Amino acid sequence: MKLFLFFCFILGYLSRITVAEEIRDEGSEEVLSDYNYACGDELMETKCKCNETVLNCDSSGVKNLNIHIIAENFTVKSAKFNNDYIQILRKRKILPGREYSVQSLDFQHNWITEIENGTFDEFLKIETLILSNNRLTKIDENVLTETLGKTLTSLDFKENNFQQLSSKTFMYLKKLEFLGLSDNPGLVPYFNKNIFSASLKNLKHLDLSWCNISILEDDAFSNLRQVFL
């Protein structure tokens, strides 16, 4: 019986691979209907590694973040997706079903140009969000939502290509302690006390290095009482 079940399992696995291959043959770069596996044993080839509470998908080539973690008892506290050529972050498509325990999401060094509205709203314990070295040109309060603002303490947008901010951009991030905006030269005209509003009252560290700051309004940071620049 055990052997039979195992056989069915292997068959199922093989047919899944076939289906995925077929979809790929149709020229679609991302296979969103399918999922990737993580934390498998030697039998299964998995792209992401699991160690303690860290899911490490760095340089794994995963674009589809609908990741199925095989080990039921593995708790993801930190998920790393560095250097994976990811272009879009989609709502309910990042570790679906496993969002509840995630405290840190790290998407450094990808090609992200777009984040769907509410993408991070399922992550009810998230504290750290790293989006540095990507290709974002804008972000707004539909991504940095009130739900996200309830837990987020650290947000890094270093080395993107932001061209605008609005007074609403950071308005929900009331717990934020670190905000990294370094290496975004297009942002300078937007640095003023409306952007850095009283909502950011818990901010302790604001990184604006390499933003080509030459002229700043005197009171640009007047709302930020505890900040070390």
As measured in angstroms, the least distance from the Cβ of 142 to ligand NAG is 4
CA-CA distance, 229 to 212, in Å (whole number)? 15
Cβ distance to ligand NAG smaller for residue 99 or 183: 183
Binding mask 27-56 for ligand NAG (x = CB under 6 A): ------------------------xx----
CA-CA distance, 23 to 91, in Å (whole number)? 22
**How far is CA 22 from each of CA 19, 30, 61, 80, rounded to the nearest angstrom?**
5, 12, 19, 29
As measured in angstroms, the least distance from the Cβ of 216 to ligand NAG is 11
**How far is CA 151 from each of CA 103, 128, 172, 176, rounded to the nearest angstrom?**
9, 9, 10, 8
Cβ distance to ligand NAG smaller for residue 39 or 206: 39
Q: Where are the alpha helices (DSSP H) in the chain?
A: 2-25, 146-149
As measured in angstroms, the least distance from the Cβ of 17 to ligand NAG is 25
Cβ distance to ligand NAG smaller for residue 53 or 151: 53
- The one segment of 23-31, 34-42, 66-74, 158-166 that binds ligand NAG by CB under 6 A: 66-74
- Binding to ligand NAG (CB under 6 A) within 73-92 occurs at 73-74
Q: Where are the alpha helices (DSSP H) in 112-170?
A: 146-149
Q: To the nearest 10°, report the CA torsion of 229, 203, 170, 189.
A: -20
Beta-sheet strands, E only, within 44-187:
49-51, 54-56, 67-69, 78-80, 88-89, 104-106, 114-115, 128-130, 154-156, 178-180
Q: Which of 44, 71, 216, 229 binds ligand NAG (CB under 6 A)?
A: 71
CA-CA distance, 95 to 93, in Å (whole number)? 6
For residue 212, state whether it binds ligand NAG (rule: CB under 6 A): yes
As measured in angstroms, the least distance from the Cβ of 172 to ligand NAG is 13
As measured in angstroms, the least distance from the Cβ of 52 to ligand NAG is 5
CA-CA distance, 161 to 177, in Å (whole number)? 22
Q: Which of 15, 28, 33, 117 binds ligand NAG (CB under 6 A)?
A: 117
As measured in angstroms, the least distance from the Cβ of 105 to ligand NAG is 18
Binding mask 163-192 for ligand NAG (x = CB under 6 A): ----------------------x-------
75 in Cβ contact with 97 (< 8 Å): no
Q: Which residues bind ligand NAG (CB under 6 A)?
A: 51-52, 71, 73-74, 117, 140, 142, 185, 212, 214
